[in-house]
Structure 1
Amino acid sequence: MNEDSQTAVIDGLGDRKMSRSNVDARMGGIEAAIAHYQENATPQLILLETASEGDEVLNELDRLAEVCDAGTNVLMMGEANDIALYRELIRRGVTEYLVGQIAPRQVLDAVTAIFEDPDAPPMGRSIAFMGSRGGSGSSSIAHNVAWHLGQEYGEEVSVIDLDVTFGTAALSFNLETQQTLEQALADPSRLDDQLLDRFLVEFDENVRLLASPSNLDAEESIMAGSLDSLLELVRRRSSFVVLDVPHRWAPWVQQVLLDADETVVVGVLDLSGLRDTKTLIDRLRKQRGPASPVHMVLNHHGAFKKTELSPKDFETATEVKPDAIIPHAPALFGTASNNGQMLGQVSGKHKSVDALIKLAQLVSGRQPQQKTKKGLLGQLGLKSRKKAKAI
Structure 2
Amino acid sequence: MLQNERCQVLASLTRLTGDLGLAEDAVQDASISALQTWPRTGIPPNPRAWLIVTARHRAIDVLRREGSRFAKEREAALMQLHEAPDDFSVGVLRDDQLRLIFTCCHPALAAEAQVALSLRVLCGLSVAEVARALLVPEATMAKRLTRARQKIAAAGIRYRVPDDVDLPDRMRVVATTVFLLFTEGYASRSAGAHERRSLAEEAVRLGRLLVQLLPGEAVLEGLLATMLLQHSRRDARFDSAGDIVLLADQDRARWDLALATEGVELAASAIRRSRNAPERFAVVAAISACHAIARTAEDTDWNAIVSWYDVLARLDPSPVVLLNRAAALAECGQVLEALAAVDALHGLDDYFWLHATRAELLRRLGRGTDAAVAAALARRLTDSPAQQRLLEHRHPGL
TM exceeds 0.5? no
The structure with more radius of gyration: 1
Q: Which has the higher strand share?
A: 1
Q: Taking structure 2 as the reference length, what is the TM-score of the superposition?
A: 0.25
Q: Which has the higher helix share?
A: 2
- Of structures 1 and 2, the one with the larger relative CO (CA 8 A, separation 6+) is 1
